[in-house]
Chain A
């Protein structure tokens, strides 16, 4: 005899019992102990069919191959740059992955990318030790100049982008800003001062209200009202 103790979109905390009995299966961020299913994280419940999953509300960014992120250069070594990705793990951008230009042996790397610069990069390799290799050679990847960088919870990145990018294109259209979102929660906004400010507020609002219904309509209204 099984029974589910939570409903769709309930907020649960780690250790909370989600279901008893063997009829349901533990999905993402849950675990089974004896005959009950428990939550591993603070998050929202979703029950598609017989699987119980949890979408986390907060938590660190876990690096995954193929993610586009925005990192901050923290050190220059002999053959590249060390990049702070906002995770607990170290990332490295090799010279050969940073530019197509030929770089001479004694060239000063800080003239290409200096310490403190932000770069848009893609993760090409994550080792079992969670050491990260980056590349800046694909289209759309570059060193950032101008505009502003804001930080959001990396778990909210999918909500800021929206379904097929609907949310982010709405913000881009209404504020006239260029927006690049890194999967690690760093967002680069560039446009007019007012546009940048409005986009920043909009993204912060999404972060706060992301677990509520009707977010797109709400954002549409917000951006219409505040339009300068």
Chain B
């Protein structure tokens, strides 16, 4: 894709893109659906342009970790299905899948988005553990933002299953009205730097042409909870400042879309 890469790089310097979007414009439509899986406690399908990602939340009761006896926990796992991009292979998760899962995980974990203390049932013995699974259905570029949005939507839509008081067994077929103790809404926005210009929501071709990228996870109060830098080129302090501003503005936009969809 050398030709398109050259053209993308040239256009970026004059603030233009191949598909005539502005640099800070997301693709349309952004479609958010919840409850797509009846086996999961919470699930979501998110579509940004041609990008489709599904996320599911499963809840289980486990023994808390020894260093945090009064807290539950979260786990994030991402799978890049071979169906979604010809470059993805079956087998153990590769570097891209691990990075995707860790970026989403760190955003939620470090924002302290879930009140872990409220997940504890009996300190040192029983606590709820949240497992988030992310699957890419179609990769058209910008999996980070789509996956982050899908994970948050799934968390928001999740409800605890019914637990039998006497035996302690979980009945996954019945759900209570209680949703997860979600106190913040962190959303990752990845800003790409191509030929000195900063842009969001890259297509697959733009993802092949970038110099550097920075994923910034911000919550409702614009507090930055996590950063992830990628690419070979360096970023100046001034650029990082501009990226964080842009990311928090775009996260606010995505959060509005999300809340409109869930209402």
- Chain A positions within 8 Å of B, measured between CB atoms, are 114, 116-118, 144-149, 188, 193-194, 196-197
Contact = CB atoms under 8 A, between A and B. Distances in A.
Closest 6 CB pairs of A and B: A116-B2, A197-B20, A149-B3, A148-B4, A148-B7, A118-B3
Pick from A118, A145, A146, A193 the residue with the most CB of B within 10 Å. Answer: A193
Interface of B: 1-4, 6-7, 11, 16, 18-20
B1 A116 contact: yes
A188 B1 CA distance: 12
A197 B19 contact: yes
A117 B1 CA distance: 8
Contact of B2 (A118, A194, A197): A118
B208 to A, nearest CB: 11
Contacts of B2: 114, 116-118
A73 to B, nearest CB: 9
A151 to B, nearest CB: 10
Contacts of A118: 2-3
Given A117-B2, A148-B7, 7 more contacts: A116-B2, A145-B6, A146-B3, A148-B3, A188-B3, A194-B20, A196-B18
Query: Interface of chain B, helix or strand or loop or mixed?
Result: helix
A197 B3 contact: no
A117 B3 CA distance: 7
A149 B20 contact: no
A146 B11 CA distance: 11
Contacts of B16: 193
A147 B19 contact: no
A178 to B, nearest CB: 13
Nearest to A188: B3
Given A116-B1, A149-B1, A193 B6 contact: no
B162 to A, nearest CB: 46
Nearest to A197: B20
A177 to B, nearest CB: 13
Pick from B2, B11, B16 the residue with the most CB of A within 10 Å. Answer: B2
B3 A145 contact: yes
A146 B6 contact: yes
Contacts of A149: 1, 3-4
